[in-house]
Chains A and B, each alone.
Chain A
Amino acid sequence: MSEALAFVREASEPEEPPPTFSSGAAAWAKANLFSSVGSSLTTLAFVGLVLSALPPMIAWATTNAVWSAPDGALCRQHQDGACWAFIFAKLDYLRFGSYPISERWRVNTVEAIGGCLIVWLLSPGAPRRDWAALMFFSAYPIMAFVLLHGSAALGLPIVDTLLWGGILVSFVTAVVGIVFSLPLGVLLALGRRSKMPVVRLASVMFIEFVRGVPFITILFMANTMLPLFVPESWTPDRLLRPLVGIALFSAAYMAEEVRGGLQLLGRGQYEGAMALGLNYPLMMGLVVLPQALTMVIPGIVNNFVGLFMDTTLVSIVGATDFLEAMNNAFKDPAWSGPTIMATGYVFAGMFYFVVDYGMTRYSAFVERKLAKGRRR
């Protein structure tokens, strides 16, 4: 061993900065946008797409749009922008249809109460949500009907359903669908899992029949055949016919959701309830259904989303829902113009998107909450 001179460093070297692409925005971009040649090309293609499509769309909806005008003349001059003035001018018609102006407070009241009940029902921490459910599924529909249709005894003038229209009809259709389809769907799901062959067969036939045909044909059937199958003196109301159709239609879909929940529930729950000596209604009402329904809340809410979108089809049998009111509004010659239709449909799209996407987010939120409870 030679006497090598020992070198001992006394101060550490200055730290080098981390490699450029290991932290911060640059690293994120490298990992998520430019991880490979293909990925980089994809990114560039999408950037090009977004840059070419988005600015004109935003300009169409904001800077180039006509926000206020007495009639369509101004909109006909600005053909490169939306005509929001048309929406403002027709907003009342889009909300109420031809509902008499002096009675529109009744619609507002019903919508406000319904909104409060729904918020109460859906808020996770709210007290006594079972009361909210009870009211929403029993007292509220009756109250809403009396208030909207009117009653001589209460001094409210009768408003014929032919005058109802717009968002009011969309909401009425959706609420009737929800209120009737859930109990009917539960009954059908229980019937489908029943041990009694006749009950099972009847449920299966109803569910598979309704799910096998388009909703339009159910509406046509309700519209043209329902009046034939009841005594001549009844003549079901024009709006009642599609409501019957939508209730039966969504009940079949609801039944399949509920059946999914019933199948998820372990046998032990049934056996435990039976061992406690509960009879069938008590077993279902106290043990099985509360658990099964909770498990499929996301599916049920997703069903409601579909139901709300399907309400647009009721116009085929003469009901004036929101979309049909929009189509009617297009016919006003004072507001004719090349941009009117696009504006109207975009506005309608935003309305449905807000409602449906809200419900979808809620169902995703409940799903996460339920998953949390089951995680160990």
Chain B
Amino acid sequence: MGPGLMSGTEGPVNRARYNDPRVRGVIYQALLIAVIGALIGRGGYNAYVNMQARGIPMGFGFWNQIAGFEINLHLIPYSGVSTYGRAFWVGLLNTLLIAAICIPLATLLGFAVGVARLSPNWLSSRCALIYTNALRNTPLLLQLLFWYNAVLKSLPGPRQSLSLGDVVFLNNRGLFLPAAIPRPAATAFLAAVALACAAAVAFRVWARRRQNRTGAQAPVALVSAALLVGLPALATVAAGAPFSFESAKLSGFNLKGGVQVIPEMAALAFGLVTFTAAFIAEIVRAGVQAVPHGQVEAAAALGLHRGLATKLVIVPQAMRLIVPPLTSQYLNLIKNSSLAVFIGYPDLVQIFAGTVLNQTQAAVQVMAITMAVYLAISLGVAGALNTYNARHALKGAANV
């Protein structure tokens, strides 16, 4: 009710000001601001007094101090005389490393299990169901401890390693993969790969344009595959093998050479991948089953065979439903990688919110930085997802 309606009708309406929703809204919000402000002010004051009393540093001066502890996995140069700031970057890179390894693997395994779950084959769908139920209903921490303590730690020592064709070794010191050592021909090989990718993308764009213009389809998948396999193969034939592979060799009591994946990382990666894959499989199943059956029948009525119907009708519609929850699973994976602290993989939380916090006592600063990093990752991915959704939303359906 606007003020204009009230004035001049039948004298002043007997209505208290505090009954006006707008006035009350302002009062409530002012109260909320006052309460939050008081909490922050009071808490900040307490924190100041307590930190003064306990001699806890207030600023970020610790950032450039010598950390004095070792980290057994670092992608950038780091040693005991590096600074706390350096330790932060080591931890952040290790968190990103585990995410970069786990996300593609979890996606692959998740889609495979999801497809198995949807398969008309009763046995494969049952096995996939048991897999997803078992892993989704037990805590990730338990799974990680199981893989790390009960499985990896009880593996034989380096002398009795389990090996896969003497190329890949697994023992209680970790997983040993062959290392790829670039040769002079590697430049040509990598250039060929890059060229093949560019050519495949260009061909896809051209095929899409031509189909829009004339309706004629081009074998995009076949040509892309030929390009991606053919060009690097050609480069190899012309310039020689691009890499030499060096697998680990037993020397003394340990394996030397190759790429060693420390047991903490192997357990964390395995646990995260299998756990997240179970959730991705459920997302894939739900997404595909949500495509109305009429769509499948319509595709059949158009004369599309099963493969084409899947590729042109089912997958594009299912992906629209799969991508948003899939993204949040990726975020969960990144957040869950902080469970590294329980098995000693040196990630951001273990190094920075663990060791650095304990040594410097700068709890407020360290926690603020750690949380800001995760928050930035989450908000960044959420922003990217919103862009994707806006591009792939149903045209014409305003707000579903």
Contacts and interface: CB of A to CB of B under 8 A. Distances in A.
Interface of A: 31-33, 35, 39, 42-43, 46-47, 49-50, 195-199, 202, 208-209, 211-217, 220-221, 224-225, 227-232, 305, 309-310, 312-313, 316, 323, 327, 338, 341-342, 345, 348-349, 352-353, 356-357, 360
B139 A227 contact: no
A34 B135 CA distance: 28
A220 B122 CA distance: 46
Contacts of B44: 229
A199 B139 CA distance: 35
Interface residues of B, number: 56
B32 A35 contact: no
A23 to B, nearest CB: 17
Contact of A198 (B32, B50, B119, B139): B32
A13 to B, nearest CB: 37
Given A32-B122, A35-B120, A214-B374, A356 B137 contact: yes
A327 B371 contact: no
Of A47, A214, A352, most buried by chain B (CB within 10 Å of CB) is A214
Nearest to B36: A202
B145 A212 contact: no
A197 B29 contact: yes
A316 B350 CA distance: 11
B316 interface: no
Given A46-B127, A228-B51, 19 more contacts: A33-B121, A46-B123, A199-B28, A202-B32, A202-B36, A209-B375, A213-B371, A217-B370, A228-B50, A231-B46, A323-B145, A341-B150, A342-B150, A345-B145, A349-B142, A352-B138, A353-B137, A357-B133, A360-B136
Interface of B: 25, 28-29, 32-33, 36, 43-44, 46-47, 49-51, 53, 56, 119-124, 127, 133-134, 136-143, 145-146, 149-150, 153-154, 335-336, 338-339, 341-342, 349, 353, 357, 363-364, 367, 370-371, 374-375, 378-379
26 contacts: A33-B123, A39-B121, A43-B121, A43-B124, A47-B123, A196-B29, A209-B371, A209-B375, A211-B378, A213-B371, A214-B338, A216-B353, A217-B349, A217-B370, A217-B374, A224-B357, A224-B367, A225-B47, A228-B47, A228-B56, A309-B139, A316-B341, A323-B145, A341-B154, A345-B142, A352-B137
A213 B335 contact: yes
Given A46-B123, A217-B353, A225 B363 contact: yes
A184 to B, nearest CB: 15
A209 B140 CA distance: 22
A214 B141 contact: no
Nearest to A342: B150
Contact of B46 (A197, A221, A228, A338): A228
Given A217-B371, A345-B149, A229 B46 contact: yes
Given A212-B374, A342-B150, A232 B137 contact: no
A312 B25 contact: no
A49 B56 CA distance: 58
A309 B119 CA distance: 30
Contact of A323 (B28, B46, B141, B379): B141
Contacts of B367: 217, 220-221, 224-225
A216 B36 CA distance: 25
A35 B363 CA distance: 62
Contacts of A360: 136-137
Given A46-B127, A316-B342, A349-B138, A228 B120 contact: no
A212 B379 contact: yes
A189 to B, nearest CB: 16
A309 B143 CA distance: 11
Contacts of A46: 121, 123-124, 127
B121 A42 contact: yes
Nearest to A229: B43
B229 to A, nearest CB: 24
A279 to B, nearest CB: 10
A42 B123 contact: yes
Contacts of B374: 212-214, 217
Contacts of B363: 224-225, 228
A230 B149 CA distance: 39
Contact of B149 (A212, A213, A305, A341): A341
Nearest to B349: A216
B138 A353 contact: yes
Nearest to A28: B122
A46 B29 CA distance: 62
A131 B115 CA distance: 45
A221 B371 contact: yes
B349 A345 contact: no
A215 B337 CA distance: 11
B331 to A, nearest CB: 8
Contact of A313 (B49, B51, B141, B154): B141
Contacts of A213: 335, 370-371, 374-375, 378
A195 B364 contact: no
B137 A198 contact: no
Contact of A196 (B28, B43, B122, B138): B28
Contacts of A199: 28-29, 32
A221 B370 CA distance: 10
Contacts of A220: 349, 353, 357, 367, 370
A312 B375 contact: no
B63 to A, nearest CB: 18
Contacts of A198: 29, 32-33
B329 to A, nearest CB: 13
Of A215, A232, A312, most buried by chain B (CB within 10 Å of CB) is A312
A312 B139 contact: yes
A216 B145 contact: no
A309 B138 contact: yes
Contact of B139 (A33, A35, A217, A323): A323
Contact of B120 (A32, A49, A202, A214): A32
The 8 A-B residue pairs whose C-beta atoms are closest, nearest first, are A212-B378, A32-B122, A229-B43, A198-B29, A224-B363, A309-B139, A214-B338, A356-B137
Contacts of B51: 228
